Amino acid sequence: MRTQVAIIGAGPAGLLLGQLLHRHGIDNIILERQTPDYVLSRIRAGVIEQVAVDLLDEAGAGERMHREGLVHDGTQILADGVRHRIDFRELTGKTVLVYGQTEITRDLMEARAACGAPSVYEVEDVSLHDFDGHKPRVRYRKDGRETEVECDFIAGCDGFHGVSRKSVPSDHIKTYERVYPFGWLGLLSDTPPVSDELIYVRHSLGFALCSMRSPTRSRYYLQCSLAEDIDAWPDDRFWSELRMRLDRDARDKLVTGRSIEKSIAPLRSFVAEPMRFGRLFLAGDAAHIVPPTGAKGLNLAASDVRYLSQAFIDFYMSKSTAGIDHYSSRALARVWQAERFSWWMTTMLHTFPENSGFDQKLQRAELDYVFRSKVAATALAEQYVGLPF
């Protein structure tokens, strides 16, 4: 089998890239380890920046997002019992859209099925070959049958645990990592959100986040210990712990109900450099991870895809290799800005088990600065809505 671009992974990065290339007449195949239903069952991102909105439109998959997505003009931070509002529109002229990763993935899957571009789900033992030469190949097994795909380029969009990054010899790649001493316990429920804006909560018991997917579906998170067992968190315990971290107004408005999903995610900052190895290109979580506090993971995947799709389009349409040659440095410059912002938001809002009194005072001073200074609030808002390209 032969294609122009072999894409590993059908998460948002792989699906978006595949759709953008297809619309420019560039052949591609997507190879995914899981079933479509499994991919759609992972509850992840909820907040998207303009870059992701624009790319979904370009991919021809933005129609439902515009109909159902919720435009958010600002966000709220509840710190030690007092609520503050960061007005994105006033401070930056921009807004974000609340539209779940599940819905984005579904829209992209449907767009791909409608145009007949090939995706192979439930592939096993994907392996990458000869990407340091001119004729890379990808091998996989499906239903016991081995297949080899010859291609011009491989796009590794297979997330943090994927095979692409691991296929690079260790002396060609450098990784940077910070693992945080806590995780997020998330709960999804068909209950109306407690507020029409997200509320980021700093509390001595630990961070919490009130988010949403729609006017009738809420997403809540609690900072938890990494040793936490999900079975030790029946819904009632989750709701009572959340209530303790909220203010009076939110406590009064909170509507609780049966969870439809509950999971624990560890928090990590991670970057692999470079993001290109000959004819293999990494994009999205395969190359970098941010803690979710800044809502940047999916948006970074989209910004990588913006650079990478343009690089391939320039290569095939105008025989230019400039985009390919600069892909890694361009993507990484944006990645490190998002890494810094996500680390900063995480550090400012969470309770760190090892923090001394001094660290806690600094954390409080940092927050006070954001609440009192328009310049500091603007810096937060500018990064939250997405830095300009």
Question: Which of 62, 156, 284, 323 lies at the binding interface for ligand RFL (CB under 6 A)?
Answer: 284
145-150 and 259-273 strand pairing: unpaired
Give the active site residue among 22, 288, 296, 350: 296
According to the binding rule CB under 6 A, does residue 285 interact with ligand RFL?
yes
295 binds ligand PHB, rule: CB under 6 A: yes
When the beta carbons of 295 and 370 are compared against ligand PHB, the nearer one is 295
Residue (60 or 74) nearer to ligand PHB, CB: 74
Q: Any contact of residue 47 with ligand RFL (CB under 6 A)?
A: yes
CA distances from 231 to 202, 218, 222, 235 (A): 25, 21, 15, 10
Active site residue 161: no
Rounded distance, CA 16 to CA 1, Å? 22
Question: According to CB under 6 A, which residues from 250 to 269 bind ligand PHB?
Answer: none
Using CB atoms within 10 Å of the CB of residue 23, give its burial: 0 to 12 exposed, 13 to 18 middle, 19+ buried. Answer: middle
Pick from 4, 23, 34, 73 the residue near ligand RFL by CB under 6 A: 34
The answer to whether residue 327 is catalytic is no
Beta carbons of 10 and 119 less than 8 angstroms apart: yes
Residue 342 CB, nearest distance to ligand RFL (Å)? 9
CA gap 7, 18 in Å, rounded: 7
User: 101 with 12: CB under 8 angstroms?
Assistant: yes
**Residue 219, binding choice from ligand RFL, ligand PHB, none, Cβ under 5 to 8 Å by partner class:** ligand PHB
Q: In what order do the strands lie in the sheet with 47-48?
A: 47-48, 96-98, 70-72
**27/235 with CB nearer ligand PHB:** 235
Tell me the C-alpha distance between 267 and 352, whole Å.
12
> Residues 199-218: x/- map of binding to ligand PHB (CB under 6 A)?
----------x-x-------
Would you call 72 a catalytic residue per the annotation? yes
Residues lying near ligand PHB in the complex (CB under 6 A): 45-47, 198, 209, 211, 219, 292-293, 295
